[in-house]
Every structure is written in structure tokens, then in C-alpha cells.
């Protein structure tokens, strides 16, 4: 063999040996990377910040890693999967070799019940992933909507039924002018009540559909207060109740003037409805210690018990159902006030004592441009 042939053979063998070494290095690196990917510690770091409840288990259902949310819910206790419903779901998923789902109720960290949509996903290597998606908000919304529809149906039936009966009574008493006049007066009252209820429902629906801060403007608090009091002047006069206004000048908030006027009007109407003849209602404004604007509506009426104060902002809740209906109340006024307050980045609170009256306070962020220095 010529020297050139020997040299060529050496080059080929060297290249082959070099390629083999490179291939071995690549394979070792690949194995090292794969080992890092499935490392339990790294897997735990990946899952920990997830907001969903995620648990990874081995072929023997040994918990390899879990998100912090899953551990808070107790789905991963040490190295064990919990509760039994999740273990059973995983067993069914392994048996059928496909993803299985179920709904599960657990108690959250705050003690409130939580609704989870749980999926068990078996993997090809024998391990499995359990994923729990929090559906609590969807459940609360569904329950609220169901209760709202049920309450609306009940509230609408009362005036509609009364209108039908009064119309029949007026027709039957056609020969008695005084009776007809009496029935028509009651019919008019029920019609107004029905109209107010429908208007409140429409107002609440509109509030829930539109964010007032998307098209917000500077609103003068004094104008809102004066407009609200003007709208309540007739019912206050009919009940022999006086309304006073004391507004701190130059207070400006950002939002929807019409919605804010509706909220204050509802507070004043509520104060008038639960006050006796000769009572006083005071509407005042000022700055709180935290810089927010406060609009306060105070009365010296019948007051609200501590238990009822916990529920007065719920839809259709009435402290005194008979009195509320007699005054034309719908049970939606205070819930609308709360919605307006929250939508404007504020809050509404109540102070009350039975027999001593109540004070409702609407707190709203002050406009920096319009507020005083």
C-alpha cells in the first residue's frame, strides 16, 4: 500500500473515531438535559406558581410535584393524592387509558367552598397529571343569576296580579263611582310600583353591562347631591319629611354623573321610606382622612338591626318587606348603590342603630385634577 493510501486510511479512521466521540458526547448531553427536564425539583419549580391546581404523580400514584394552589386545597398531602374522588378518577382514567373528568367541591384556604373541574390525564410512561380548574366564580354567577330570575319572577307577579284583580274589581263596580275611583287609585299605585320595578331592573342590567370608567368625566359632587334631593322632594313632602343639604364645595370625582345621581337618589329615597312623619334626612359631603370623597345620607328613622345590616345590599332584600312595598320599594335600590360604588372604585357602608336612625356613606376616589390641594 502506498504512503498516500496509508495516510488516507488513517484520515478516514481518525474521522470515524472523532465522529464516534462527538456522538457519545452529544448523547451524554442529551441524557443530561432530559434528566434535568424530568428532575422532580425542577418540575416542582415549574408547577409552584401556577394558579391552577396541578399534581403530577408517578406510575404508583406517588406525588412527584404539585402547584402551590393544589397543596392549599389539600389535593397533594405529602406524597399522597387526595381526596378519594380524585384517586378514583385517576384509577378510571388509567383503566380506560383516556382523560377522565369530574366536578369536585373542596374547601378553600379561606374556608369558603370551591367548585373544581378536575381532569385526570394518564401519560404514556405510566405517570399521570391531575388538573383542577377553579369554577367557583362560574358557580356563584350561575347561582346568583338563578336566584335573581326567581326573585324577579316573584316580584313581578305581585303587582301584575294586583293590577289584574283591581281591573276586574273596577269593572264589576261600574255602577258605584266611589268604588271605581277607589279601585282605580289602587290600580294606579300598583302600576307605578310595577314601572319602578322594571326601571330598577333595567338600571341594574345596564350597570352590569357597562363600565362607567371607560367613558368617565369629571363630576361635581354638589350637583349630584342637589339633583338627587330634587328627585326625592315630592315623596319627602308627601311623608312630611324634611331634607337638608350641606355640601363641601369644589369636590370632584371621576365617573358617570347619571349613575352617581341614581345611587345618591336611592339612598335618599331609602332614608325617606324608613322615616316617620316629621323626621329629618341630611345629605352631606366632605373629604375622608384617606383623601376620598364621602357622600353621607343620614336619617333619624327606625334604624336597622345588626343582622339585617349584613344583607341590606343584597338584591331584593328588605328590612321591612311590608313597609318597603307600601312605599313602592323594589328591594333593588341599595344593591344598585353598591354596584355603582364598586364600579367607580369606591364603596358604600352603613352605620345604624334600631330606633336611632341610619347613616349610609358613599366613598369615591377624588379627582386629582379637580380636587383641592
Q: Which of 8-22, 86-100, 212-226, 330-344 has the lowest mean pLDDT?
A: 8-22
Q: Are residues 130 and 258 in the same domain?
A: no
Round to whole Å and give the CA distance between 167 and 150: 26
- 1 in any annotated domain: no
Q: Which of 182, 209, 236 is the last residue of a domain?
A: 209
Report the mean per-residue pLDDT for the chain: 79
- Please tell me which residue, 35 or 356, carries the higher pLDDT value: 356
- 31 in any annotated domain: no
Q: Where residue 362 falls among pLDDT bands split at 50, 70, 90?
A: very high
Q: Are residues 91 and 182 in the same domain?
A: no
Q: Where residue 263 falls among pLDDT bands split at 50, 70, 90?
A: very high
Q: Are residues 238 and 361 in the same domain?
A: yes
Of 279, 257, 278, the residue nearest 364 (C-alpha): 257
How distant, in Å, are the alpha carbons of 281, 323, 349 from that of 237?
12, 18, 27
Of 363, 301, 368, 362, the residue nearest 334 (C-alpha): 362
Mean pLDDT of 18-31: 42
Is the pLDDT reported for residue 276 higher than 50?
A: yes
- Please tell me which residue, 110 or 66, carries the higher pLDDT value: 66
Round to whole Å and give the CA distance between 69 and 319: 40
Among 34-43, 202-211, 295-304, the range with the most confident prediction by mean pLDDT is: 295-304
CATH number at residue 98: 3.30.450.20
Query: How many domains in the chain?
Result: 3
Quick one: what percent of the chain has pLDDT higher than 70? Answer: 72
Is the pLDDT reported for residue 85 higher than 50?
A: yes
Round to whole Å and give the CA distance between 281 and 275: 8
Q: Where residue 45 falls among pLDDT bands split at 50, 70, 90?
A: low
Round to whole Å and give the CA distance between 295 and 162: 38
Quick one: what percent of the chain has pLDDT higher than 90? Answer: 24
CATH number at residue 232: 3.30.565.10
Q: Are residues 296 and 199 in the same domain?
A: no
Q: Which of 84, 115, 134 is the last residue of a domain?
A: 134
Q: Which of 134, 169, 194 is the last residue of a domain?
A: 134
Q: Where residue 210 falls among pLDDT bands split at 50, 70, 90?
A: low
Round to whole Å and give the CA distance between 333 and 272: 13
What pLDDT, on a 0 to 100 scale, did the predictor assign at position 41? Answer: 59
Contact yes or no for 315/332 (Cβ under 8 A): yes
- Please tell me which residue, 260 or 150, carries the higher pLDDT value: 260
Q: Are residues 283 and 323 in the same domain?
A: yes
| 280 CB-near residues (< 8 Å, 6+ apart) | 241, 242, 243, 244, 299, 300
- 5 in any annotated domain: no
* φ, ψ of residue 23 in degrees (nearest 5): -60, -40
CATH number at residue 178: 1.10.287.130
Q: Where residue 36 falls among pLDDT bands split at 50, 70, 90?
A: very low
Range of the domain at 74: 40-134
What pLDDT, on a 0 to 100 scale, did the predictor assign at position 72? Answer: 82
Q: Which of 165-169, 246-250, 297-301 has the lowest mean pLDDT?
A: 165-169
86-103 pLDDT per residue, tens: 889 999 999 999 999 988
Q: Where residue 319 falls among pLDDT bands split at 50, 70, 90?
A: low
Of 254, 244, 243, 266, the residue nearest 221 (C-alpha): 254
- 23 in any annotated domain: no
Q: Are residues 253 and 363 in the same domain?
A: yes
- 225 in any annotated domain: yes
Q: Where residue 322 falls among pLDDT bands split at 50, 70, 90?
A: low
What pLDDT, on a 0 to 100 scale, did the predictor assign at position 310? Answer: 85
Q: Which of 71-80, 275-284, 357-366 has the lowest mean pLDDT?
A: 71-80
Cell of 117: 373541574
What pLDDT, on a 0 to 100 scale, did the predictor assign at position 134? Answer: 80
- 195 in any annotated domain: yes
Is the pLDDT reported for residue 289 higher than 60?
A: yes
What pLDDT, on a 0 to 100 scale, did the predictor assign at position 17? Answer: 42
Q: Are residues 232 and 344 in the same domain?
A: yes
227-246 pLDDT per residue, tens: 999 999 988 998 899 999 99
Q: Are residues 151 and 182 in the same domain?
A: yes
Is the pLDDT reported for residue 2 higher than 90?
A: no
Contact yes or no for 277/241 (Cβ under 8 A): yes
- 22 in any annotated domain: no
Amino acid at each position: 500500500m502506498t504512503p498516500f493510501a496509508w495516510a488516507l486510511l488513517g484520515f478516514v479512521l481518525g474521522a470515524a473515531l472523532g465522529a464516534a466521540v462527538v456522538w457519545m458526547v452529544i448523547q451524554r448531553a442529551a441524557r443530561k438535559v432530559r434528566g434535568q427536564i424530568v428532575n422532580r425539583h425542577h418540575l416542582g419549580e415549574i408547577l409552584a406558581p401556577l394558579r391552577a391546581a396541578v399534581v403530577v404523580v408517578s406510575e404508583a400514584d406517588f406525588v412527584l410535584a404539585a402547584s402551590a394552589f393544589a397543596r392549599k386545597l389539600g389535593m397533594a398531602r405529602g406524597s399522597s393524592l387526595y381526596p378519594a374522588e380524585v384517586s378514583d378518577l385517576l384509577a378510571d382514567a388509567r383503566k380506560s387509558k383516556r382523560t377522565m373528568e369530574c366536578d369536585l367541591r373542596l374547601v378553600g384556604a379561606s374556608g369558603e367552598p370551591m367548585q373544581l373541574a378536575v381532569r385526570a390525564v394518564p401519560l404514556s410512561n405510566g405517570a399521570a397529571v391531575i388538573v383542577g380548574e377553579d369554577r367557583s366564580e362560574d358557580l356563584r354567577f350561575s347561582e346568583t343569576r338563578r336566584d335573581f330570575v326567581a326573585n324577579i319572577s316573584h316580584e313581578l307577579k305581585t303587582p301584575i296580579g294586583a293590577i289584574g284583580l283591581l281591573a276586574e274589581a273596577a269593572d264589576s263596580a261600574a255602577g258605584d263611582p266611589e268604588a271605581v275611583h277607589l279601585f282605580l287609585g289602587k290600580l294606579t299605585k300598583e302600576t307605578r310600583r310595577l314601572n319602578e320595578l322594571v326601571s330598577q331592573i333595567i338600571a341594574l342590567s345596564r350597570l352590569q353591562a357597562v363600565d362607567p370608567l371607560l367613558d368617565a368625566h369629571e363630576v361635581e359632587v354638589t350637583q349630584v347631591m342637589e339633583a338627587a334631593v330634587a328627585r326625592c322632594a315630592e315623596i319627602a313632602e308627601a311623608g312630611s319629611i324634611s331634607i337638608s343639604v350641606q355640601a363641601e364645595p369644589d369636590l370632584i370625582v371621576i365617573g358617570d354623573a347619571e349613575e352617581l345621581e341614581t345611587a345618591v337618589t336611592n339612598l335618599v329615597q331609602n332614608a325617606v321610606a324608613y322615616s316617620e312623619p316629621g323626621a329629618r334626612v341630611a345629605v352631606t359631603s366632605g373629604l375622608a382622612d384617606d383623601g376620598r370623597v364621602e357622600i353621607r345620607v343620614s336619617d333619624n328613622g327606625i334604624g336597622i338591626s345588626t343582622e339585617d345590616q349584613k344583607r341590606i345590599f343584597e338584591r331584593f332584600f328588605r328590612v321591612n318587606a311590608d313597609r318597603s312595598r307600601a312605599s313602592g320599594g323594589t328591594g333593588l335600590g341599595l344593591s344598585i348603590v353598591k354596584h355603582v360604588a364598586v364600579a367607580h372604585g369606591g364603596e358604600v357602608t352603613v352605620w345604624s342603630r334600631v330606633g336611632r336612625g341610619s347613616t349610609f356613606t358613599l366613598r369615591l376616589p377624588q379627582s386629582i385634577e379637580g380636587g383641592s390641594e
